[in-house]
Amino acid sequence: MVSTRLFVVFILPILFSVIVGSIVMTDILQKPDRELNMWPMSDSEIHVSNDSSIQLIGISSQYSVSEPIEIKVKITDSAFNCGDLYVTIYNSKDSNVVTQGAFFEQCFKNESNLLPIDDKFSKLISTPGSYQLVVDMISKDLSNISTSGIFTVK
């Protein structure tokens, strides 16, 4: 009686979870353009594809430790007139994330294509060094454009 209850309560749920998880993972990996990438960022460098349809506005090549980094993003591709904007600053030396900003549901009309709308990206970095700013715009259909810029803090 105890061994049956032990099997039903502890062992059966574990077996069920492993089987269902394997089926789901197999189904997902069978779809085109899908891969299992356990480590999406290498330790040696940050890979960013610069796209001409997205531009950084207001980034300088050098900032002081008391000066905030403030940028705007200009989108020229009409396919990206609505989506989520992510701004990440990495330490160029070791590729660690220093700070991030996310601006969700950024939708603009043709007369103004500067993002973020009704908000601003402003971060203060107090440690001198070299940094990489990466901007990603992900549209509602999950397509992505990105660009980056490098600056130093002294």
pLDDT number for residue 2: 66
User: Per the domain annotation, does 75 fall within a domain?
Assistant: yes
- Asked if residue 86 and residue 30 are part of one domain, the reply reads no
Task: Output the domain CATH number for residue 77.
Answer: 2.60.40.2550
- Asked if residue 142 and residue 96 are part of one domain, the reply reads yes
pLDDT band at 1 (very low <50, low <70, confident <90, very high): low
User: Per the domain annotation, does 144 fall within a domain?
Assistant: yes
d(Cα 32, Cα 21) in Å, to the nearest integer? Answer: 19
- Asked if residue 59 and residue 30 are part of one domain, the reply reads no
- Asked if residue 74 and residue 19 are part of one domain, the reply reads no
pLDDT band at 42 (very low <50, low <70, confident <90, very high): very low
pLDDT number for residue 106: 86
Q: Which of 61-65, 75-79, 99-103, 148-152 has the lowest mean pLDDT?
A: 75-79
Domain ranges, residue 106: 54-153
Per residue in 101-146, pLDDT tens?
A: 999 988 876 566 778 887 888 899 989 999 999 999 888 888 888 9
d(Cα 15, Cα 9) in Å, to the nearest integer? Answer: 11
pLDDT number for residue 62: 92
- Asked if residue 89 and residue 17 are part of one domain, the reply reads no
Token look-up 């509602």 returns 140
User: β-pairing, 82-91 with 129-139?
Assistant: antiparallel
- Asked if residue 63 and residue 26 are part of one domain, the reply reads no
Q: Which of 5-9, 94-98, 148-152 has the lowest mean pLDDT?
A: 5-9
* Total tally of structural domains belonging to the chain: 2
Cβ contacts of 98 within 8 Å, gap of 6 or more: 89, 90, 91, 125, 131
Is residue 49 classed exposed, middle or buried when 0-12, 13-18 and 19+ CB atoms within 10 A define those classes?
exposed
Instruction: Name the β-bridge partners of 147.
Output: 135
User: Per the domain annotation, does 22 fall within a domain?
Assistant: yes
DSSP string across 15-43: HHHHHHHHHHHHHHHTSTT----S--S-S
- Asked if residue 27 and residue 62 are part of one domain, the reply reads no
- Asked if residue 24 and residue 81 are part of one domain, the reply reads no
What is the average pLDDT value for the chain, to the nearest integer?
Answer: 82
Cβ contacts of 11 within 8 Å, gap of 6 or more: none
User: Per the domain annotation, does 92 fall within a domain?
Assistant: yes
φ/ψ bin of 95: left (φ > 0), alpha (ψ from -120 to 50), beta (otherwise) = left
- Asked if residue 112 and residue 85 are part of one domain, the reply reads yes
Given a cut of 60, is residue 24 above it in pLDDT? yes
Q: Residue 106 in contact with residue 85, Cβ under 8 Å? A: yes
Its pTM stands at 0.64
